[in-house]
Chain A
Amino acid sequence: MNRTEKIRSPKKGRKMPIKVLIPTPLRPYAGKQPVIEVNAQTVGEALSALVALHPDLRKHLFTEEGKLRSFVNVYLNSDDIRYLSKDATPVTETDTITIVPSVAGGR
Chain B
Amino acid sequence: MALSISRSLLDRLRRHGEETYPYECCGVLVGSFDDAGGKKATTAVACGNTRTDSPRNRYRIDPAELVRIQREAILAGRDIVGFYHSHPDHPAMWSATDLAEAHWTGCSYLITGVERGHAVLTNSFVLLEDEDSKRFEDEIVEVTAE
Which bucket holds chain A's interface residue count?
20 to 34
> A51: shortest Cβ distance to chain B, in Å?
16
> B49: shortest Cβ distance to chain A, in Å?
9
Given A23-B104, A24-B33, A71-B103, answer yes or no on A103-B26 (Cβ-Cβ < 8 Å).
yes
Which one of A24, A60, A69, A78 has the highest number of Cβ atoms from chain B below 10 Å of its Cβ?
Answer: A24
Q: Is B5 close to A, CB under 8 A? A: no
Contact of B97 (CB < 8 Å), options: A21, A69, A101, A105: A105
Which residues of chain A from 15 to 37 have any CB-CB distance to chain B below 8 Å in the complex?
A: 21, 23-25, 28, 34-35
Q: Is A104 close to B, CB under 8 A? A: yes
Stretch at the interface among B12-20, B76-84, B138-146: B76-84
- On whether the beta carbons of B101 and A102 are closer than 8 Å, the reply is yes
> A46: shortest Cβ distance to chain B, in Å?
15
> B77: shortest Cβ distance to chain A, in Å?
9
How many B residues touch A, CB cutoff 8 Å?
A: 44
Which residues of chain B from 73 to 108 have any CB-CB distance to chain A below 8 Å in the complex?
A: 74, 79-81, 83, 85, 87-88, 90, 94-95, 97-107
Q: Is B135 close to A, CB under 8 A? A: no
> A106 to chain B: which residues have CB within 8 Å?
24, 51, 54, 57-59, 85, 87, 95, 97-98, 101
Q: Is A80 close to B, CB under 8 A? A: yes
> B58 to chain A: which residues have CB within 8 Å?
104-106
- On whether the beta carbons of A96 and B71 are closer than 8 Å, the reply is yes
Q: Render B28-64 as a binary contact track against A, CB cut-off 8 A, 1 for contact.
A: 1000010000000000000000010010011111011
Please list the residues of chain A having a beta carbon within 8 angstroms of any beta carbon in chain B: 21, 23-25, 28, 34-35, 60, 69, 71, 73, 75, 78, 80, 96, 98, 100-107
> Can you show 25 pairs from A to B with CB atoms below 8 A apart?
A21-B74, A23-B70, A24-B104, A25-B105, A28-B106, A60-B130, A60-B131, A71-B101, A73-B63, A75-B67, A98-B71, A101-B103, A103-B66, A103-B101, A104-B61, A105-B85, A106-B57, A106-B85, A106-B87, A106-B95, A106-B101, A107-B57, A107-B87, A107-B88, A107-B90
